[in-house]
């Protein structure tokens, strides 16, 4: 089983921002909202847009290329739940932001 990885310090991702990282051989977007930290595949399933650069509002991120929206907590597309960006579990230990490996 792959271990969790440190992807950033809490200070590197202030509330209201996002950070693009590479973890588990994939691009991952880490979001820090008032509700906590969330992580999704950083590449939009629709056309490959950079989700870390998307606008976050009301628990959703909108891809900056075409506006496709995904729930931060689940990765589900807000119009068609069959379309999904993979989500990752995020933990904070001390000042470290840790990403758990994808399930399966």
Model confidence over 35-77: pLDDT tens digits?
999 999 999 999 999 999 999 999 999 999 999 999 999 999 9
- Whichever domain contains 55, its CATH number is 2.102.10.10
Q: Does residue 61 contact residue 29 with C-beta atoms inside 8 Å?
A: yes
Q: How many CA atoms lie within 13 A of 39 on its CB side?
A: 26
CA 22 to chain centroid, in Å, comes to 11
- Tally of structural domains, the chain: 1
The pLDDT of residue 102 is 80
pLDDT(104) > 90: no
Identify whether the C-beta of residue 45 lies closer than 8 Å to the C-beta of residue 84: yes
Whether residue 104 lies inside any domain: the answer is: no
- Average pLDDT of the segment spanning 83-103: 94
The domain in which residue 54 lies consists of 5-99
């Amino acid at each position: 089983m792959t271990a969790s990885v440190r992807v950033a310090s809490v200070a590197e991702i202030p509330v209201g921002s996002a950070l693009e990282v590479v973890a588990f051989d994939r691009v991952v977007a880490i979001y820090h909202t008032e509700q906590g930290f969330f992580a999704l595949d950083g590449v939009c399933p629709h056309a490959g847009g950079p989700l870390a650069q998307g606008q976050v509002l009301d628990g959703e991120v909108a891809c900056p290329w075409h506006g496709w929206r995904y729930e931060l907590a689940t990765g589900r597309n807000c119009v068609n739940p069959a379309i999904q960006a993979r989500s990752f579990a995020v933990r904070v230990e001390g000042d470290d932001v840790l990403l758990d490996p994808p399930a399966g």
